[in-house]
């Protein structure tokens, strides 16, 4: 790939596997070149994620503490009052976040919930922040309602490779994930889509995961890369907590970030869950490899996060400038 090449959505698995197999420094160097050709150097976007409805989800995602089938002691809550959500958004803005993401532990939203969701979206946008929602599967009509409200991004992760997916989740198919993404795109909302590594998958699965994202009709505007946080009482948490597979090797994690950057050059690549346990050096390598977005704050939905003060100190050490607003670059589909 040359830096002048158009954005590609025709990547093959072999090409992606070859990127993973490059010598580490060569891979990171190539990713850094692609990053600087498409994004401001040394700038990182800060986003905040709030759980607006916690627990009681009927899905059986093996990694999730909010699944009703998980035995984590997490108590289910009702949908938050929009006023409380907007107060949290204002606090996030005061702490430097430019995007406010709201997540609800649902298989799919009910139509009766949409007026409150719309109020939240409009209220956050009125503050001058970008908005993102993750509410589970959407119908075409619900996606259009969110678009009419002005929603900027909708998050719906594919989680892992198509082949590995059924070992992680059985209550929703991979194809249903793609269907919701199609509804979101057709409604004119930007897609936020990534997944989780460190769930006991092989490198081949990570190749398949990146391939599934990089061959979507349009690359996601944001690609969150999560490292599994094993939670006791979840299927994967109990299975992996006491094994070496519970934490993906730092070098392999950076490789995954670098390959995501090369194959999806204009997307925002976000370090998401698992960052609180990463060393400063590992995060610095991720930024060098093209990550340019993080979640700030002390909590991501129900999991811990690094925290604003720690992030500010890291940015100062690395000479990173918080991004004032996301670079708006239209993603191109392959002709």
- Would 330 be classed as within a structural domain? no
pLDDT at 156: 95
Domain count for the chain, please give it.
Answer: 1
pLDDT at 322: 87
> Cα-flanking dihedrals φ and ψ of residue 245, to 5°?
-75, -10
- Would 84 be classed as within a structural domain? yes
Where does 13-81 show beta strands of DSSP type E?
A: 43-53
- Would 332 be classed as within a structural domain? no
For residue 177, count CB atoms less than 10 angstroms from its CB and return exposed for 0-12, middle for 13-18, buried for 19 or more.
buried
- Would 326 be classed as within a structural domain? no
Which DSSP helix (H) or strand (E) runs through 226? strand 222-227
Which entry of 30, 99, 132, 275 is annotated as an active-site residue?
132
Q: Pick out the chain residues at pLDDT < 70.
A: 1-6, 241-247, 297-308, 325-335
Which entry of 101, 164, 172, 193 is annotated as an active-site residue?
101
Active site includes 172? Answer: no
- Would 261 be classed as within a structural domain? yes
Active site includes 275? Answer: no
Helix, strand, or coil (residue 310)? helix
Active site includes 286? Answer: no
Active site includes 57? Answer: yes
pLDDT at 84: 94
What's the predicted TM-score (pTM) here? 0.89
Active site includes 64? Answer: yes
CA-atom Rg of the chain in angstroms: 18
- Would 71 be classed as within a structural domain? yes
- Would 331 be classed as within a structural domain? no
Check if the beta carbon of residue 70 is closer than 8 Å to that of residue 101: no
- DSSP string covering 164-184, please? HHHHH-SSS-HHHHHHHHHHH
Write the CATH number for 232. Answer: 3.20.20.70
- Give the pair of three-digit tokens for residue 71: 């035995």
- Residue in the block written with tokens 């194959």: 263
- Would 90 be classed as within a structural domain? yes
Helix, strand, or coil (residue 40)? coil
Domain enclosing residue 246, as ranges: 13-320
Report which DSSP code applies to 159. B
């Amino acid at each position: 790939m040359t830096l002048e090449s158009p954005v590609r959505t025709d990547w093959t698995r072999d090409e992606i596997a070859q990127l993973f197999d490059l010598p580490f420094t060569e891979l990171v160097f190539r990713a850094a070149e692609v990053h600087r050709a498409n994004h401001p150097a040394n700038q990182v976007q800060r986003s905040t994620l709030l759980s607006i409805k916690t627990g009681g989800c009927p899905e059986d995602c093996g990694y999730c503490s909010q699944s009703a089938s998980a035995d984590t002691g997490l108590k289910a809550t009702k949908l938050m009052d929009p006023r409380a959500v907007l107060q949290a958004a204002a606090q996030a803005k005061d702490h430097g976040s430019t995007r406010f993401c709201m997540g609800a532990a649902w298989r799919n939203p009910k139509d009766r919930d949409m007026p409150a969701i719309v109020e939240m979206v409009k209220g956050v946008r009125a503050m001058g922040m970008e908005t993102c929602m993750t509410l589970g599967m959407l119908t075409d009509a619900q996606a259009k309602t969110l678009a009419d409200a002005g929603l900027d991004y909708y998050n719906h992760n594919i989680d892992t490779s198509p082949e590995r997916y059924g070992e992680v989740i059985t209550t929703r198919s991979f194809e249903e994930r793609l269907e919701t993404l199609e509804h979101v795109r057709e409604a004119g909302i930007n897609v936020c889509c990534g997944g989780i590594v460190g769930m006991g998958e092989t490198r081949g699965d990570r190749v398949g995961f990146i391939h599934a994202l990089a061959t979507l009709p349009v690359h996601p505007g944001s690609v969150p890369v999560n490292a599994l946080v094993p939670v006791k009482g979840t299927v994967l948490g109990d299975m992996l907590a006491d094994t070496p597979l519970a934490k993906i090797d730092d070098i392999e994690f950076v490789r995954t970030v670098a390959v995501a950057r090369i194959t999806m050059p204009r997307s925002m690549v976000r370090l998401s869950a698992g960052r609180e346990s990463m060393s400063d050096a590992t995060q610095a390598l991720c930024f060098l490899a093209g990550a340019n977005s993080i979640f700030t704050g002390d909590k991501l939905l129900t999991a811990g996060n690094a925290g604003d003060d720690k992030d500010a100190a890291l940015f100062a050490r690395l000479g990173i400038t918080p991004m004032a607003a996301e670079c708006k670059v239209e993603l191109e589909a392959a002709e």
